[in-house]
Structure 1
Amino acid sequence: MNAIDRAKDPGVLRAIFEGLGSGVFATDASGGLIAVNPRAAQIVARPAAEMLGRDMHDLLHRHADGSPFPRDECRVIAALAEGRPAEGGDEYLLRGDGTTVPIIWAAAPLKLEGEPDGLVYVFHDFSVRRAAEEQTAAHLAALETLTARLTLVSEISSVLISSLEVSLVLRRLGRLLVPELADWTAVDVYTGQPGELRRLAVHSEDDPVAAGALEGPLPPLPESSASPLARALRGAGAMLLDADDLAREPGTPLDAAHRELFERLGGHSAVVVPLNSRRQVFGALTAARTGDSPGYEDDEAMMLIDIGRRAGLAMDNARLFDQQRHVAEAMQRQLLTPLPQTDHLRMAARYRPALVAAEIGGDWYDAFLLADGVTTMVIGDVVGHDLQAAAHMAEVRNMLRALAWDRQEPPSLIMRRLDEAMTNTSDAPMATVVFARIEGAEGGPWRLHWVNAGHPPPLLVTRDGRARYLEGGHGPLLGMSATLNLGMSWPDAHEQLPPGSTVLFYTDGLVESRTRPIDTGMEVLCRHAAALARRDVEDFCDELLERIDPRGDDVALLALRLPPSGAGAAGDDTPPPARGRRAHSPAAPTRSAPGAEALGADDVFTDAPRGDDDLTETPRGDDRPPRP
């Protein structure tokens, strides 16, 4: 038998029908089953004999949940009625055990001699592939959830390190958690005072007014309470709360305050986690869900625990930084000098650390009396913005004091000896310094005698508002000439100081920044100083810093205000600065001005007033306080 004849052999066709790996149904023109192959019976878990003669649609076609599929919506019935091929997927057949099986199918007209056309229906079990698709979709959904949570943790981590302002950071944290992990959040913290608690931040998008009203002081932590909030505040761990837990009556005032959150904002599920580092518990975070939101799962609670730990570490870092800042500030104030208010001369000083540094650096000012009774003024800057720079600054300052006191010689020679001393006895790096003597008899005239080692020039501002820089006396930076054996020198410079004028010494942080060159900064300083010429010397310094608002580097200011002509001279009864009110001083309040003990309180005043040096030419009546 040849191949053509074999293809027509009923036995061959029967073998194909029965051995086909796909399910095959054949129906008559009314949709009744007239043939079922073994694979079809296996897929629908029904004996073939039971199905023959039954309507295929009524017997088998169902929705995924097993409910009947409308006949008028069945595409197989439509294909049978129209006598055309059709195919489809995402449909279900009812199995003998009552479950449904997803299939993909194809149908074509069945032409039988002498009979109306029936239908051949071929289908495949799609459950394995559908399960794989559903598993893939579940994996993708889980991956998306994980990615979203990792993104949230990343954002939270960024917020936690964005600022050392704890209250600001914790408020931002609450806003980030809503609505991704909570419908509302509350942060309760220790205030730093023994036993004091405060609800620092409550955030709810649904009711922000009610949330804000819930912030404020809290009752103290009771010793015996085992409530979720009390346990978290003791660092005992996180607590996952359901509706039954939230329904329990509060046993302490602190529990009642926690319960009020849920009464005002709602909630059926919550997680309370401590905000703690390894060394300390700083507070607790409550995250809650309301309405139709699902309850918390264990993995979400673990994520909140991690967030609470991260917040606790950020709070610990802020606390440590604050401690270091106070230590640095105290050290800097010990290094800075109280100013001698000698005779009728007035001095004022300011120190502003770099905003990005640790409140300490290499800028300094100094003023003290020499053995010959002359007042000196110093402004300087050692390279650096850290503790090492401050140590070098103290070293250079003390060298300069000793050298200036040791011999009565011009500033230029003192500067040369300081340069040699730095090179041979110190590891201090390069420094810039202006060293000046205020020379003149009581009552004037006064003369400034100075030398400048690579520092911005002093600024002279007259009483009538004219300002100019004193460019003389310039020489190399300290630590450069002797090191390189350059043999350079520092020339002395002199300038007569008009009565009522102001001499301003400053460091480069006042005039130089990343946003403008130093020349521009010096022009700005000159203009503002001229406009402030008639201000009290204390106000002069404050307003100058306010107007210029230097940022990015340490700034030190030292200002000298000359008295009116003849003030303090023989026959003049104008008192020197009184001791009744203290002038602002960056130095520690426990320190006294250099030379105060040796010269006596009548000659050196560390408690100079503010606002008492009005230089207008007004009569001096007898109502002025007597000279001490």
Structure 2
Amino acid sequence: MEGSQDSETLRREDVAPVPAALSRALDALGVGAYLVDERGRIVAVNAQAERMLGRSAGEVAGYDAHDLLHRGPHGQPLPHSQCAMRQAFHAGRPAQGTEEFFALPDGSVRPVAWLITPYTVEGEEEEHTLVVFHPQEIAEEPAAPPETPVATLTELERLALLAEATAQLTSTLDTEETLSRLSHLVVPRLADWVIVDLVTERDEVWRDVVAHADGATLKRHEDLEGPMPPVLAESQWPLSRALRGASSTVTGPERYHRPPDSGIAVEQRRLFDRTGMHSAAIAPIRGTREVLGALTLGRAENQAEFSTADLPLVEDIARRAGLALDNARLYQRQRKVAETMQNHLLPQMPGVPGLEMTARYLPAPDASQVGGDWYDAFPLSDGATALAIGDVVGHDLEAASGMAQLRNMLRAYAWSQNEPPSRIVTRLDEAMEHITDVSMATMIFARIEALDDGTWQLTWTNAGHPPLLLVGRDGVGRFLEGGHGVALGTGLRARRPDAQAVLEPGSTLVLYTDGLVEEHGQILDVGLDRLRRHAAAYVHRPLTVLADQVLRRVRPADNDDDVALLALRAPA
């Protein structure tokens, strides 16, 4: 962009507030950093960048980063074609450089060394780009440093490693994946060996990772992993101190060949003996509220020894690992609560003489392990059995709560009112908006009862849900298209129809939710046909096998929805 670049003449757009976890991650970098969206607009900036740019976050958010900041050496506007940062941004690749100038509010410019890298913000599909920078004048190394780090990384390489660590570690909520990414970040770049000891929620120590560089790959040593002795408050040896949150330190095998003061010291001696490490740097891994563990980097083949000058970098990496592990543990706790809640919400199948039944539920892969999909089967007051499958809008605890309300209301109406399914669902729809938090839902409600000739009479109504699948003992499958009406919560009060079908001996009925058959980029008929073919293929196998195989083979690979399935069979 040519001409004046004063912020008053630039176009500014609104951007969404940044999550608190992202702000903490940027501040933890320790250098200037800002984040831009796919259009190059600044969406987040840390405190260090605010100080170096002389502008607050509110004064830069929403502006195009290039137009607001990037200048030539004399303060002149810089065309996009001459800006290395802009070119790398559009290419979507990591890049670094030193010949860039950022505009300051007084019209002067500040020369900076910079690095940019793609960055994924948790919970957002849009790709972002992270920019880290520091003034060039402070990147120069002093003429005679008191101690030179043996990890001969330049300041820019150090920033690149920290930016990569931030991007890699904060973009996952899985503990194992976090540890894997951490290991690959530091080995072999900083050390031959990486060891991670974590403190469990029961205050037990577990050696989760022992790995070393084996050429271009990372080799795990599971025989050195596993439970560790307790951390004693009186132990002053390096690992014990780190696991209590004390400062990082450099150590070697000679320390651990002295008389040990704890069981952990004995394990550390075994570690040094087995790995051949001659030098190690140990740093605590701290969460926001507690010490989560310790990171140990060791050198065996690399003859250079760690020094205290290497510890700030090791501490910075451990700090980022602590933030990622803290978030992962919080997420795991939420998942555990959600799983427990879901187990209590989903019913057990009733025993119905002469009828086999089984049910399955799979949560959405990226949700909180609960959702609005549900199934139910229960006896009715007149001796028949009720069947239900439904989907409440949403994939979270709120949807699960609404599902439980809807299911309990359905049970109450169905038991107390000896009426056709259509009338029961009409009553449920009328009451839903007044006494539940559910905005919209689809469902099938059916009743099934044995007839004197050995067949089963099925009566149902469908409120905007995918159709039932009936597969005969001959392997011929058909969808029961009758009984269709509008979904619950639409406000329409159209009459709901009932439909009927007979289940012959050996036939199988499958009730399911749309997550089983809906696939991105495909019409619904593709998923329905896949369900029909696979259910027919397993109609002569045990019902539990049919349910498992249908889930395994029919559910789309890119499924992002939860799935409920209820299958029943009239034995031959």
Q: Structure 1-normalised TM-score?
A: 0.63
Tell me: CA distance 1:515–1:300, structure 2 relative to 1, closer, same or farther (3 Å).
farther
2:499 equivalent among 493, 502, 508:
493
Q: Deviations over 1:64-86 (max 9, x none)?
A: xxxxxxxxxxxxxxxxxxxxxxx
**2:375 corresponds to:** 365
**1:557 corresponds to:** 565
2:192 equivalent among 161, 183, 192:
183
1:413 equivalent among 386, 399, 423:
423
Q: CA deviation at 1:387?
A: 0.8
**1:220 corresponds to:** 229
Q: Deviations over 1:465-497 (max 9, x none)?
A: 1100000000111111xx2xx441211111111
Tell me: CA distance 1:305–1:527, structure 2 relative to 1, closer, same or farther (3 Å).
same
Pairs within 5 Å for 1:399-438: 399-438=409-448
Distance in 2 (alpha carbons) for counterparts of 1:151 and 1:524:
48
Distance in 1 (alpha carbons) for counterparts of 2:555 and 2:441:
24
**1:150 corresponds to:** 159
Asked if the contact 2:372/2:391 (under 8 Å) is kept, the reply is yes
The 10-residue stretch of structure 1 (292-301 or 205-214) with the greater mean CA deviation from structure 2? 205-214
**1:310 corresponds to:** 320
Q: Which runs of 5+ in 1 are unaligned?
A: 1-133, 565-628
Q: Which runs of 5+ in 2 are unaligned?
A: 1-136
Q: CA deviation at 1:252?
A: 3.9
Distance in 1 (alpha carbons) for counterparts of 2:374 and 2:220:
49
The 10-residue stretch of structure 1 (179-188 or 451-460) with the greater mean CA deviation from structure 2? 179-188
Tell me: CA distance 1:145–1:530, structure 2 relative to 1, closer, same or farther (3 Å).
same
Aligned with 2:154: secondary structure?
helix
Distance in 1 (alpha carbons) for counterparts of 2:396 and 2:208:
37
Instruction: Give aligned pairs, total.
Output: 427
Tell me: CA distance 1:138–1:305, structure 2 relative to 1, closer, same or farther (3 Å).
closer
**1:541 corresponds to:** 547
Matched, 1:517 2:527: no
Distance in 2 (alpha carbons) for counterparts of 1:518 and 1:211:
45
Asked if the contact 2:170/2:323 (under 8 Å) is kept, the reply is no
Asked if the contact 1:461/1:533 (under 8 Å) is kept, the reply is yes
The 10-residue stretch of structure 1 (238-247 or 387-396) with the greater mean CA deviation from structure 2? 238-247
Matched, 1:506 2:508: no
Matched, 1:257 2:263: no
**1:350 corresponds to:** 360
Q: CA deviation at 1:425?
A: 3.2
Distance in 2 (alpha carbons) for counterparts of 1:136 and 1:209:
32
Code of the aligned partner of 1:173:
L
Tell me: CA distance 1:414–1:232, structure 2 relative to 1, closer, same or farther (3 Å).
same
Pairs within 5 Å for 1:53-92: none
**1:454 corresponds to:** 464
**2:27 corresponds to:** none
The 10-residue stretch of structure 1 (216-225 or 312-321) with the greater mean CA deviation from structure 2? 216-225
**2:533 corresponds to:** 527
Asked if the contact 1:167/1:200 (under 8 Å) is kept, the reply is no
Q: Deviations over 1:521-579 (max 9, x none)?
A: 00000000010111111221112112224431110001111133xxxxxxxxxxxxxxx
Asked if the contact 1:377/1:437 (under 8 Å) is kept, the reply is yes
Q: Deviations over 1:441-478 (max 9, x none)?
A: 36632111110010000000111111000000001111
Aligned with 2:510: secondary structure?
strand
Q: CA deviation at 1:135?
A: 11
Asked if the contact 2:483/2:497 (under 8 Å) is kept, the reply is yes
Code of the aligned partner of 2:387:
M
Q: Deviations over 1:386-421 (max 9, x none)?
A: 111111111111222222222211111222222111
Code of the aligned partner of 1:421:
A
Asked if the contact 2:231/2:243 (under 8 Å) is kept, the reply is no
Distance in 2 (alpha carbons) for counterparts of 1:358 and 1:388:
11
Q: CA deviation at 1:185?
A: 2.2
Q: CA deviation at 1:432?
A: 0.4
Code of the aligned partner of 1:158:
A
Matched, 1:478 2:488: yes
Code of the aligned partner of 2:291:
V
Distance in 2 (alpha carbons) for counterparts of 1:427 and 1:393:
9
Q: CA deviation at 1:161?
A: 3.2
Q: CA deviation at 1:422?
A: 1.5
Tell me: CA distance 1:558–1:274, structure 2 relative to 1, closer, same or farther (3 Å).
same
Code of the aligned partner of 2:196:
V
Aligned with 1:495: secondary structure?
strand
Aligned with 2:389: secondary structure?
strand
Asked if the contact 2:256/2:266 (under 8 Å) is kept, the reply is no
Tell me: CA distance 1:248–1:206, structure 2 relative to 1, closer, same or farther (3 Å).
farther
**2:109 corresponds to:** none
**1:444 corresponds to:** 454
Q: CA deviation at 1:147?
A: 2.0
Distance in 2 (alpha carbons) for counterparts of 1:457 and 1:514:
20
Aligned with 1:150: secondary structure?
helix
**1:202 corresponds to:** 211
Distance in 1 (alpha carbons) for counterparts of 2:220 and 2:530:
48
Q: CA deviation at 1:195?
A: 4.0
**1:602 corresponds to:** none
Tell me: CA distance 1:320–1:146, structure 2 relative to 1, closer, same or farther (3 Å).
same
**1:167 corresponds to:** 176
Tell me: CA distance 1:507–1:213, structure 2 relative to 1, closer, same or farther (3 Å).
closer
Q: Structure 2-normalised TM-score?
A: 0.68
Tell me: CA distance 1:164–1:424, structure 2 relative to 1, closer, same or farther (3 Å).
closer
Q: CA deviation at 1:502?
A: 0.7
Matched, 1:386 2:396: yes
Q: CA deviation at 1:292?
A: 6.5
Distance in 1 (alpha carbons) for counterparts of 2:301 and 2:447:
78
Q: Deviations over 1:18-67 (max 9, x none)?
A: xxxxxxxxxxxxxxxxxxxxxxxxxxxxxxxxxxxxxxxxxxxxxxxxxx
Q: CA deviation at 1:266?
A: 4.3
